[in-house]
Amino acid sequence: MTDSIRATQGYFSQFGGAFVPEVLQRTFDELNLAFETARNDPEFWRSYVQLMGTYSCRPTPITYAENLSRHFGGAQIYIKREDLNHTGAHKANNVMGQGLLVKRMGKRRVIAETGAGQHGVATATMAAKFGFECTIYMGEVDVARQRPNVFWMERLGAKVVPVREGSRTLKDAINEAFRDWVSNMDDTHYVLGTACGPHPFPEMVTYFQSIIGQEARRQIVEIAGKLPDRVYACVGGGSNAMGLFSGFLSDKEVELVGVEAGGKGVTTHEHAARIASKHGSIGVAQGYKTYFLQNQDGQMNETHSVAAGLDYVGISPILAHLHHTGRVRFEAATDAEVVEALKLVVRKEGLIPALESSHAFARAFVEAPNMPVTSSILINQSGRGDKDIFTVADALHDPDWVEFIKKKAEAYRA
Amino acid sequence: MTDSIRATQGYFSQFGGAFVPEVLQRTFDELNLAFETARNDPEFWRSYVQLMGTYSCRPTPITYAENLSRHFGGAQIYIKREDLNHTGAHKANNVMGQGLLVKRMGKRRVIAETGAGQHGVATATMAAKFGFECTIYMGEVDVARQRPNVFWMERLGAKVVPVREGSRTLKDAINEAFRDWVSNMDDTHYVLGTACGPHPFPEMVTYFQSIIGQEARRQIVEIAGKLPDRVYACVGGGSNAMGLFSGFLSDKEVELVGVEAGGKGVTTHEHAARIASKHGSIGVAQGYKTYFLQNQDGQMNETHSVAAGLDYVGISPILAHLHHTGRVRFEAATDAEVVEALKLVVRKEGLIPALESSHAFARAFVEAPNMPVTSSILINQSGRGDKDIFTVADALHDPDWVEFIKKKAEAYRA
Amino acid sequence: MLETIIRAKLAERAPLLMTHIVIGYPDFDTSLALIDAMVESGVDLIELQIPFSEPIADGPVILHANQVALEKGSTVDRCFEFAEHVSRKYAVPFLFMTYYNILFRQGVRSFVERARKAGLKGMIVPDLPPEEASEYEAAMAEVGLDPVYIFAPTTSPERMQKLAAHAKGFVYCVARKGVTGSSTDFSDELSSYLARARAATKLPLAVGFGVKRKQDVDFLQAHAEIAVVGSETLRVLEQEGIARVGPFLRGLRA
Amino acid sequence: MLETIIRAKLAERAPLLMTHIVIGYPDFDTSLALIDAMVESGVDLIELQIPFSEPIADGPVILHANQVALEKGSTVDRCFEFAEHVSRKYAVPFLFMTYYNILFRQGVRSFVERARKAGLKGMIVPDLPPEEASEYEAAMAEVGLDPVYIFAPTTSPERMQKLAAHAKGFVYCVARKGVTGSSTDFSDELSSYLARARAATKLPLAVGFGVKRKQDVDFLQAHAEIAVVGSETLRVLEQEGIARVGPFLRGLRA
Ligand SMILES: Cc1ncc(COP(=O)(O)O)c(C=O)c1O
Ligand SMILES: Cc1ncc(COP(=O)(O)O)c(C=O)c1O
């Protein structure tokens, strides 16, 4: 991966750090050592690429969106297809990588938090493949809106624990995972799902996800003949964004755009835009320092997004840093814009982006029309939308779907 | 593709032919010509491979199933990952290929039948990408059991027509598609979804699906260092089987095993085993001659399978031929065996095969334990099981799922 | 000999009228009553369709009739009994109309043999082009039954020539694309198509698909020898009752 | 100066007892009543936890208390008022316990300043290791408050040395892995860990996490200066009522 993404004493300028209870200090020392050793061993990255090439279908392709490009009449639109990963999202990259690390560390159990359920499914999948025991913490709210993923996690042999504390979403699942970890760190590794949390997680997750950017840079130059003018990625914790951006960080002419969850609008308080709204401020929680959606006392606010995977109070300290340096521009897309973008992508290209990924599309669609046809943009389709069928069906008020569910329920009652 | 798979006057020994109404004769002449011309143009296959490499993620990998191999202690098990295709199944290969052909023929509308819904989604996806109008015929029974696919087809802009005639499954959808075609052949192409139907469909679909076998032979030799002893594929109409088998046809030492839907058992009449049961006999229907499940009068029987995609009365004439020559061995797997196999694959390897594909696994699991550890087998995971969540959840009687559906329904009622 | 019979009838009136039933729909008694009404109405030829579970060339009306007939137990044996009964009872020539699998399963040779014994004069098999028909044609020739072939608007002159060479009795011209039962506009397009057909064969031409009204029949007078009324009879039966079938048929040539 | 106070008290009795409340849980009145009961029961030190929405080091009981307190409006300002009120009212030394973000948002310097003005003696910040604490330590030293640090069973002797170098007042030894509120077995393992702790620092040792019964306190007498009772007090309050809290606390050293 590009060495530009290395923390100095766990920090990216003022962001990051490792604010962890004393009981976990040794675990983090071990993790830092294991990660460093692995990273310095070229064989490790090779084995990672090899695993992703045989178990998932890396390199994932870049698809030229001919119809969308024509539709908007502006920039040529290219899409990085992380949705084609095994388990349907970029989450697989990070999880499989950490799986290899867990094997090296000789631990036998993994735990993880999950929002959309994508990271939970990916972790449960990795655990099944590597033969690890697995417990997934998932906010009760998310368990409800992402049931299909819960169903598969259980089939995969994972124990799914609904978290009933706090706002019962991603951040609370993370807290619960930490509580499990401080009790079981000896045989357990916490597979954090995004580029957040205490050092070395932001850097480590970015390291594994950087496979996206490495492939994408090579591919786009090959296909489009030049670097893209802008690169778009949705930003929950920041892992798919960092993964793709990392491939273009040193290409100053490429503008990097991170799209946060605008929810019901960044002027309301029902969103998850930590940087793209006026409501975010620097704080320290869940073990690291970054922008959070919090009140003056430092209590975390509830967040909202139609996309469970973006519904999170914090953001990668690396992205907070890149925001300060001005390297990454942050925007927000509202739930409504996102659903419209998703419908358009499905209809025009036959692709079904996850609601999370649709945020990147929504913003790109605002900007592309105003760019010359000679310019090009790259959008990260971080995952596929199949998992969102319940949410999307509701958002579109599909009557047949409603009928179908009612019939199903009656059949079950009978 | 291997030239061994070419019909002589539309026939493979006594199987195949083109029993089509006079009104379609000209359309078939045109189709034969277009296909022949395309096949003889090396540029065509290149453009096909290129499309599948950028829009889907071909070549799809072969995954070594280390845990399953250990679990059974017999043959080394390798899996061809067609589930990683865009839209989640091998159906994409055939559909995208025919899409390129439709463009060549200058038609503007496509129609298709669908059973599991996979072919319907694939066709609707292709239509969205190529900008064709699209109508999908789907048996009413299948519309009910594969609702999620119907939902996405509609989002993709396709008109989904539930077929209420006959047994209201795949074969009736095919009849309806033909009825549409005989009225609209001038601007419409019928994208048949499997290696059945009148010549040249069996040969044409096999031609496009042969990309599976071409990749697989190269990959397995590379990974395992030698050819597999046996190759397994589930058989509905026969396209994924022919696609994979075609790569090994001339390797006489490789045994090819086609697995049909055993339903509630081949001794009952609730199955879809045209060759692996005693109930099949040669006949002519839906425009071609092959083994059908029919009564003494020649009326088609109702079939049954937990997998909608295998629930079909006919079988590829090419497979009927390969059955007669003894090149392919046919077996059946029951619904119960299939659900067990699916659970095991999910738990052991973190892979979720479609119920259709699970038939191939189920049979392989019967045979693998009795093979030496030095031997190896290749199983075609023709698609992913996400689409089957309703069926699988029912088969496993998952109480949480039932609760979830009931809650959803109540919410809708409110 | 179908052709001879047709030519003889044509000496008296033109165009001739061919009607159609699905054996056993809505039940055998009604099928019988339909035949009675047709004969009484002076119909010249009658198609007896043996139901098939996959009638791809038929539209909703006849498709439905096929299914009901099968549910009502219209087996191939009972269809033969029925055919034999009516052909004994009436002088009007009867033809079998069915799909190839029905013949194939019985064994083409023995099916054709039985058909001749049952007194039929010819057969129409819409999913059996001459390319696939050698066994069928041989058997038909041997027992002296006429294989009727079909022209479509999409059929090229060359192919018409070829089909004509295989056809006996008459040629069945489907008036338009599509399946049975939907409507046709009887236009110049149709006339020029029928002119091509006429040029391709000396055999009498029967025109079917969408013949509904007297005007349709009148229009055909100039272009063909036989007007074929199929689905419309079923429609009258279903919507107006058996009693109206006779009057409807008589009205077509009144 | 916390250490001096502790040493003085130790001259009278050992081990000392440190208790804990979450300010504003279940409400401010009860919080006050709890303090009264604790003081009446002769408790030697009291932790006042300012609630935080993400208390990762706390278990279910205190986690719940944090949330309820926040819902009940336990803002940082009201927590300061409360702390000032009780530290004026009682001689017993009070410490703040909270997570770093609470300090960080107020501005570490001004938070510490306010704490001193409110009469607190020290602070425990479980998610603030010395590596991240330079600003905090500077401010604490400047205003003369003691930063209490934590030892865990997983802490190496070397790290204990390091922590000890940063710690003032006393060292808080968490008795086991895990979060607050689950039970601990007071075993040899614990003694040897406390022996390591003892060897690493001259500061008094406080032992918390899972201290529930008199036996636990008795066990600790030999190994530490201060027994810390946290969640158990809340359990008694919730299950037996405020009236039983005093008796429970007195029973621990009776
Ligand atoms: C498909 C998809 N995209 C994006 C995200 C957001 O996470 P991150 O910002 O770490 O990529 C998620 C999280 O679950 C996801 O499932
Ligand atoms: C995943 C999958 N596998 C297999 C089949 C069976 O079709 P075929 O035998 O043509 O491969 C289907 C049909 O829908 C399918 O969806």
Would you say residue C183 has pLDDT above 80?
no
Residue C61 is encoded by which pair of tokens?
């009306």
Q: Are B323 and B278 in contact (CB under 8 A)?
A: no
pLDDT of A2 higher than 50: no
Q: Which residue has the higher pLDDT, B371 or A170?
A: B371
Chain A residues with CB-CB distance to B396 below 8 A: 155
For the segment B25-73, what is each residue's pLDDT rounded down to a tens digit?
999 999 999 999 999 999 999 999 999 999 999 999 999 999 999 999 9
Test site for ligand 1: of A81, A118, A232, A257, most ligand atoms within 8 A of the Cβ: A118
**What is the model's pLDDT at position B4?**
57
Mean pLDDT score, B89-118: 96
Edge-to-edge strand list for the sheet holding B288-293: B11-12, B15-16, B288-293, B280-285
Q: Is D86 on the interface with A (CB under 8 A)?
A: no
Assess whether the C-beta atom of A123 lies below 6 angstroms from ligand 1: no
Query: Which of C102, C154, C182 is the closest to B297 by Cβ?
Result: C102
Best substitution site from B356, B358, B386 to test ligand 2's pocket, by max atoms within 8 Å of Cβ?
B356
D150 touches chain A (CB under 8 A): yes
Quote the Cα angle for A127-A130-A131, to 5°. Answer: 75
Nearest to B287 among C64, C127, C182 (CB): C127
* Protein residue with least CA distance to atom 12, ligand 2: B309
- Pairwise CB contact (< 8 Å): A285 & D131: no
- Mind listing the pLDDT tens digit for each residue in A39-63? 999 999 999 999 999 999 999 999 9
Where is average pLDDT lowest: A306-310, C15-19, C170-174?
A306-310
Name every chain D residue with its beta carbon within 8 A of the beta carbon of A26.
154-156, 159
Residue B174 structure tokens:
């095919």
pLDDT score recorded for residue A6: 92
Chains A and C touch (3+ CB pairs under 8 A): no
Measured between beta carbons, the chain C residues lying within 8 angstroms of B296 are 105
Q: Is the pLDDT score of D138 beyond 80?
A: yes
pLDDT interval class at B1 (50, 70, 90): very low
Mean pLDDT of A134-146: 89
Please state at what angle helix B317-324 crosses helix B201-224, rounded to 10 degrees.
60
Residue of D nearest to A302 (CA): D53
Q: Which of A395, A384, A394 is nearest to A116 (CA)?
A: A384
Q: List pocket residues of ligand 2, CB cut-off 6 Å.
A: B 89, 91, 115-116, 118-119, 194, 234-241, 309-310, 354, 356-357, 382-383
Local confidence band at C186 (pLDDT 50, 70, 90 cut-offs)? confident
Q: Cβ of B152 and A389 within 8 Å?
A: yes
Which atom of ligand 1 is nearest to A194's Cα? 10
Backbone angles phi, psi at D124, to 5 degrees: -120, 120
Q: Judge whether B299 and C79 are in contact, CB under 8 Å.
A: no
Query: CA-nearest residue of chain C to B181?
Result: C178
Protein residue closest via CA to atom 14 of ligand 2: B309
The answer to whether the Cβ–Cβ distance between C56 and B286 falls below 8 Å is yes
Which atom, in ligand 1's list, is nearest to the CA of A89?
1
Residue B2 above 70 pLDDT? no
Residue appearing with tokens 């070594």 = B64
Q: Is the pLDDT of residue D179 over 80?
A: no
Which candidate in D22, D53, D124 is best for mutational testing of the A interface (most A CBs within 10 A)? D53
Give the CA diameter of chain B.
Answer: 63
Q: Does C183 touch chain B (CB under 8 A)?
A: no
Residue with tokens 């019909």: B7
- Mean pLDDT calculated for residue range B364-371: 98
Residues of C in contact with B178 (CB under 8 A): 56
Residue D207's φ and ψ, nearest 5 degrees, are -120, 125
User: How far, in Å, are A216, A290, A351, D154 from residue A243 at the CA level?
Assistant: 10, 19, 21, 34
> What are the pLDDT digits (tens) for C200-245?
999 999 999 888 899 999 999 999 999 999 889 999 999 999 999 9
Preferred mutation among D102, D127, D174 to probe A, highest tally of A CBs within 10 A: D127
Q: Which chains touch A (3 or more CB pairs under 8 A)?
A: B, D
Residues sharing a CB contact under 8 Å with residue A245, sequence separation 6 or more, in sequence order: A213, A231, A233, A256, A258, A322, A328
DSSP symbols for B30-41: HHHHHHHHHHH-
Among protein residues, the one with the nearest Cα to ligand 1's atom 6 is: A236
Residues of A marked as catalytic: 91, 113, 382
Q: In angstroms, rounded to a whole number, what is the distance separating the alpha carbons of residues D152 and D174?
A: 5
CA distance D2 to chain A (A): 22
Bridge partners (DSSP) listed for residue A8: A11
The answer on pLDDT for A173 being more than 90 is yes
Lowest mean pLDDT among B332-336, D169-173, D208-212: D208-212
Give the Cα separation of A182 and B56 in Å (integer).
43
Of D101, D131, D156, the CB nearest to A26: D156
How far is residue D52's CA from residue D102's CA, in Å, rounded to a whole number?
7
pLDDT (average), residues B10-21: 97
| In contact, A309 and A121? CB cutoff 8 Å | no
Strand order in the sheet with A62-64: A62-64, A76-81, A376-381, A230-234, A255-263, A328-334
Beta bridge partners of A113: A137
In the predicted structure, residue A102 carries a pLDDT above the cut 80: yes
pLDDT at D183 > cutoff 80: no
> What is the average pLDDT value for chain D, to the nearest integer?
95
Q: What are phi and psi of D7, to 5 degrees?
A: -60, -45
Q: What percent of chain A has pLDDT over 90?
A: 86
What ipTM is given for this predicted complex?
0.95
pLDDT score recorded for residue A4: 57
> How confident is residue A1, by pLDDT bands cut at 50, 70 and 90?
very low
Among A231-245, A353-367, B384-398, the minimum mean pLDDT is found in: B384-398
Q: Which atom of ligand 2 is nearest to the CA of B238?
A: 9
Protein residue with its CA nearest to atom 15 in ligand 1? A309
Please identify, by atom number, the ligand 1 atom nearest to the C-alpha of residue A205: 10
Q: Which helix (H) or strand (E) holds A303?
A: none
Among B61, B125, B396, the residue with its CB nearest the CB of A350 is: B125
Mean pLDDT of C8-30: 96
CA B95, CA B191: separation in Å to the nearest integer? 7
**What is the distance in A from the centroid of ligand 2 to the CA of A82?**
25
On the CB side of B315, CA atoms within 13 Å amount to: 31
Taking CA–CA distances from D56, the nearest residue in chain A reads A175
Q: Are A58 and A49 within 8 A, CB to CB? A: yes
Strands lying side by side in the sheet with B188-190:
B159-163, B133-139, B109-114, B188-190
4-43 in D: which are within 8 Å (CB) of A?
none
Does residue C26 have a cis bond before it (omega within 30 degrees)? yes
Smallest Cβ–Cβ distance between D54 and the set A24, A27, A285 belongs to: A285
Structure tokens at B266: 């081949």
pLDDT band at A148 (very low <50, low <70, confident <90, very high): confident
Q: Rounded mean pLDDT of B75-97? A: 98
Could you tell me the two tokens for D161?
């040395």
List, for residues C58-111, the tens digit of each pLDDT value.
988 899 999 999 999 999 999 999 999 999 999 999 999 999 999 999 999 999
A402 Cα: distance to centroid of ligand 1 (angstroms): 27
Q: In chain C, what residues touch B165 (CB-CB under 8 Å)?
A: 63-64, 67
Tens digit of each residue's pLDDT (9 = 90 or more) over D215-236 = 999 999 999 999 999 889 999 9
Nearest atom, ligand 2, residue B354 CA: 1
Q: Of D242, D253, D231, D248, whose CA–CA distance to D35 is shortest? A: D242
Which DSSP string do the residues of B113-129 spell out, in sequence order? EESSSHHHHHHHHHHHH
Higher pLDDT, B146 or B259: B259
Q: How far apart are CA B70 and CA B91, in angstroms?
A: 31
